Structure 1
């Protein structure tokens, strides 16, 4: 099955291809000849994921999917949430975002957080959504050099190292994105 993945994020493409395996052909925006940055103007991950998949479906008329992911920190009332990629500004700097979160979390004892992913799949002109949640803890300092985004400061529940200290296979055992994609894969196989 061929699906267009509505993202320009190479790290997400690598993760998804490792999860989906050989049964699916993932076409990136670059491979599809699409060079746009799709806006994420909405207040929820669900609406932003839908915005991206609908935009690409309207352009390609092909089956496609997108995802939106946010880090939701309890002590920050769910922030950065939908603003996770742009938390410290429009430059989308992971380093700046981590610095801002660590600054805002200074002195806080409740360090619980969730990574949450919502996938929007458009298959045969109909939309379906799938969610994956990974609960965990925000550290007080960075650890590890792998992964991307907030991975160096997030330890998933059940683990004793950050996402940035895990290889891709290890991360996929806990990952919010992996959980959402397992639901997507099960749906596609049953469809």
Structure 2
């Protein structure tokens, strides 16, 4: 089965590809010559994931899935949320985004946060949503060099290292995206 992952984020593609069964061929937007920016202007992760998947399915006819992920920091009223990728501006700089979160948190003792991923799958016109969540804390400074986005400052509950200090396999086993993709994979395996 061929399925399009509606993203241009190669880090996400790598994480998801590692988890998919061998008989599912994951195609990127670039591989199917979709080069335009896909709209993403809903106020919720669910809305954005569905909007992106519907755009690809309705405009190009591909079975596809799209995700939206947000970091929700309790002390910041669940910011950055749906604005996680562009929290510090449209340049979408992970370094700037991390700096903004750390600056806004300051020396707050409440560092509770969660990552949530929602995946919207459209297969033969039928829509299905999958959600993954991981709770944890925001560290006071960066730890580790692997991963992407907020990984260097997010430590999942029950662990001593940040996502950026974990191997890809270890992160996928417990991450928000890993949990959502596991639900997607279980669904696809039952078809």
Fold equivalence (TM over 0.5): yes
**Distance (whole Å) between structure 2 residues aligned to residue 164 and residue 59 of structure 1:** 36
Cross-structure match for 1:115 = 115
Q: Shift in Å at residue 97 of structure 1?
A: 0.1
Q: What is the correspondence of 1:98-113 to structure 2 with a 5 Å cutoff?
A: 98-113=98-113
| 1:16 correspondence with 2:52 | no
Cross-structure match for 2:55 = 55
Cross-structure match for 2:152 = 152
Which 4+ residue blocks in structure 1 deviate beyond 2 angstroms?
none
Quick check: 2:21–2:185 contact (8 Å CA) kept in 1?
A: no
**Distance (whole Å) between structure 1 residues aligned to residue 102 and residue 3 of structure 2:** 37
Q: Shift in Å at residue 39 of structure 1?
A: 2.3
Quick check: 2:50–2:120 contact (8 Å CA) kept in 1?
A: yes
Number of aligned residue pairs: give it.
191
Describe the superposition over 1:14-36 as per-residue Cα deviations: whole angstroms up to 9, x where unpaired.
00001113121000000001101
Q: Shift in Å at residue 156 of structure 1?
A: 0.6
**Distance (whole Å) between structure 1 residues aligned to residue 129 and residue 76 of structure 2:** 26
Describe the superposition over 1:92-122 as per-residue Cα deviations: whole angstroms up to 9, x where unpaired.
0000000000000102111010000000000
Provide the alpha-carbon RMSD of the alignment. 0.8
**Distance (whole Å) between structure 2 residues aligned to residue 3 and residue 42 of structure 1:** 24
**Distance (whole Å) between structure 1 residues aligned to residue 59 and residue 189 of structure 2:** 26
List runs of 5+ in structure 1 lacking aligned partners. Answer: none
* TM-score (normalised: structure 1): 0.98
